[in-house]
Amino acid sequence: MTMTKDTTLVFIHGAWHTQNVWKEVINKLWFHYSCLAIDFSNNTFETSLILLKTVLDENKNVTLIGHSSAGLLMQEVCNHPNIEKLIFINAFVLPVGLCQFDVVPKGIADEMTFVASRFNNYIPVNEGFVRNMLMNNEKEDDIQKLLKDLIPQHLSLFTTKIRTNIEQNNKSKYYVFCKDDVSLPPGAYKAMADNLGKYQWIECEGGHETIFTKPEKISELIANLE
């Protein structure tokens, strides 16, 4: 990947996270690239999309980098003229007409929907899910640090159906798969990546939260993609 100081790296986070999850990745890249992390805290899907489009309007030569559920937002803005490249990291990529709840077990979707009905359409952080799925086999100190930074997530991120066909987008697309991720069944991330159409598949060591637990791996990978 050819990037210069004129390249703007825009980082977007997934469900329950904040922009802080990108802090150490950016610390390792800011000297060579303009870096910007967007915080969607407390936003609905649509207000997150408005914020993201505003940032894209204000920046040129953007490489958009998203983790997990952020892939859904990336799909909806993929045709923005200021985006040059898109990097998906263990991210959701769906066909038009589907939402995230369409591709997770129905029991989980039903439980989250019920919980959200009790908390004004927000889903609180589930420590067991974080420990066993997102941070499986990670250090306790790292688990505690992540838990302290997670926040309730608005239900709409999981229920808004995709409207933009990214398969037809001809920009450079990369899918980074941290192959120790146990948050979805084997093969699920590759199947979603194939919804991108033409793209480059890259594997690296680490679980779902590698952007947080091993930021040096992710920053080096971003800097050296071709």
Average confidence (pLDDT) over 127-132: 96
Strands 83-89 and 62-67, bridge-based pairing = parallel
CA-closest candidate to residue 38, choices 27, 24, 54: 54
Q: What rounded mean pLDDT belongs to the chain?
A: 95
Distance CA 176, CA 23 (A): 19
Name residue 123's beta-bridge partners.
153
Q: Which CATH architecture has domain 8-224?
A: 3-Layer(aba) Sandwich (3.40)
Span 62-108, pLDDT tens digits: 999 999 999 999 999 999 999 999 999 999 999 999 999 999 889 98
Provide DSSP, 154-202.
Answer: ETHHHHPPP---GGG--SEEEEEEETT--SS-TTHHHHHHGGGSS-EEE
